[in-house]
Amino acid sequence: MKRIVWGRATSSNVMKVLWGLGELDLPFERIDVGGAFGKTDTPEYRAMNPTGLVPTLQEDDFTLWESNVILRYLHAAHAPDSPLFPKEVHARANVDRWMDAQQTTFNRNMGLVFWGLVRTPADKRDMAAIAQAIEDTAKAWRMVEAELRRHPFIAGDTLTLCDIPWGVHAHRWFGMDYLGLERPDLPDLRAWYDRLCARPAYQQHVVACPIT
């Protein structure tokens, strides 16, 4: 089978898929599209992914977009017995909701922080808006911290799929230059991030990628 991930390696949503593939030990090729690489507005790309966003997964004739859905698909198709997505329905629903929560309650504010500090020149930054976004992002991290106080990974004792969407952003959260802005001390979140850093696939696909 030929497996291709379409998307620039600097995208948080692409990183999720690459890290997931690494955890599942599934080989793949990656093609740079999106951001400065462009090529997401071509009819060929739009035929695979009408949103024009990255990532897109291609396995032979099958294509799929939406990063969290791709993670669940990879598990179902290639590693259904892996503890990354537990079989027991309540445990699975818990993993699912934390995956969704990253997209719904967290992503917008974290995006404002990231774009504001990393992708906006210093003289164009709206520091008041960034400070507010940091506070709102911290609220979401505190929810995660509360889970991590009870167990080493978000859903329990081992890594599951819901650690992946949050984990890619943890690297940015701890790695960004905060320009003196207040960031709350979240020791359990930091310990979890250090635990993720010990995983080769996280190192390779998240930590090794410059925060740009």
Ligand X SMILES: N[C@@H](CCC(=O)N[C@@H](CS)C(=O)NCC(=O)O)C(=O)O
How far is C-alpha 150 from the chain's CA centre?
22
Taking CA 196 as the corner, what is the angle to CA 190 and CA 199, rounded to the nearest 5 degrees?
155
Taking CA 88 as the corner, what is the angle to CA 82 and CA 94, rounded to the nearest 5 degrees?
90
To ligand X, the closest distance from the beta carbon of 11 in angstroms equals 4
Cβ proximity to ligand X: between 40 and 160 the closer is 40
Cα dihedral value 110, 112, 118, 121, nearest 10: -170
Q: Where on the chain is the footprint of ligand X (CB under 6 A)? A: 11-13, 34-35, 40, 53-55, 66-68
To ligand X, the closest distance from the beta carbon of 45 in angstroms equals 10
Cβ proximity to ligand X: between 68 and 137 the closer is 68
Cβ proximity to ligand X: between 137 and 186 the closer is 137
14 in Cβ contact with 7 (< 8 Å): yes
The Cα 156–Cα 177 span in angstroms is: 31
Cβ proximity to ligand X: between 16 and 199 the closer is 16
To ligand X, the closest distance from the beta carbon of 171 in angstroms equals 14
Token look-up 């949103």 returns 51
To ligand X, the closest distance from the beta carbon of 39 in angstroms equals 9
To ligand X, the closest distance from the beta carbon of 68 in angstroms equals 6
Cβ proximity to ligand X: between 12 and 58 the closer is 12
Q: Residue 51: which of 6, 86, 18 has the closest Cα?
A: 6
